[in-house]
Amino acid sequence: MRVRVVYESMFGTTAALAEAIAAGMRSHATVQLLGVDEAAELPDSTVDLLVVGGPTHAFGLSRAQSRAEAARRCGHTPATGTETGVREWLAAAAPVPAGTRAAAFGTRADKPAWLTGSAARAIDKRLRRLGFTLAAAPADFRVADTVGPAIAGELARAYDWGTVLAESECAQRV
């Protein structure tokens, strides 16, 4: 099974969670892990499963303005540029053939989802609009602060989520 994991990460926490998800999938799949900037430069490739993730900004997906503001507010230099995020990458994506599978994950502050929103749910919605069949419910992973780190146990939970997702997809293909 071929999997592509695409993530947006300004301060490294979402990247660390994407790496944990990819590591969990590797015993069941060939996994390509790409930041959204890298993915935007590559042609679409045929994969069996696309996994997309990003940070929650203002109740949903980040925008160029929210990424720039987060960097200014936190006094950090973003790990990636602020122009291309998951929102823009998905907006530029072409519809996919019926039955193409995908899953969404996101990071959000360690507060109830109704207070923070969820990038994972926003990604899930956009993936469905593009024609993807969702392989799993969107997964939110909690972070302590805007710049991270992930709350204790979340990296292990991300690894487990990746493992279960890959096992489920492999079993479905048999």
Structural domains in the chain, sorted by start: 2-173 (3.40.50.360)
The two tokens of residue 89 are 């990458």
Between 95 and 15, where is the model more confident?
Answer: 15
pLDDT band at 11; cut points 50, 70, 90? confident
Top pLDDT among 112 and 134 is at 134
Q: What percent of the chain has pLDDT over 90?
A: 51
The β-bridge relationship of strands 30-35 and 101-109 is unpaired
Q: What is the pLDDT of residues 155-166, one digit of tens each?
A: 999 999 999 999
pTM over 0.85: yes
More confident residue, 113 or 147: 147
Structure tokens given for 121: 């749910």
* Mean pLDDT score, 115-142: 91
Average pLDDT, the chain: 86
Beta bridge partners of 133: 101
pLDDT at 124: 95
Torsion region of 59: left, alpha or beta (phi above 0 gives left; psi -120 to 50 gives alpha):
left
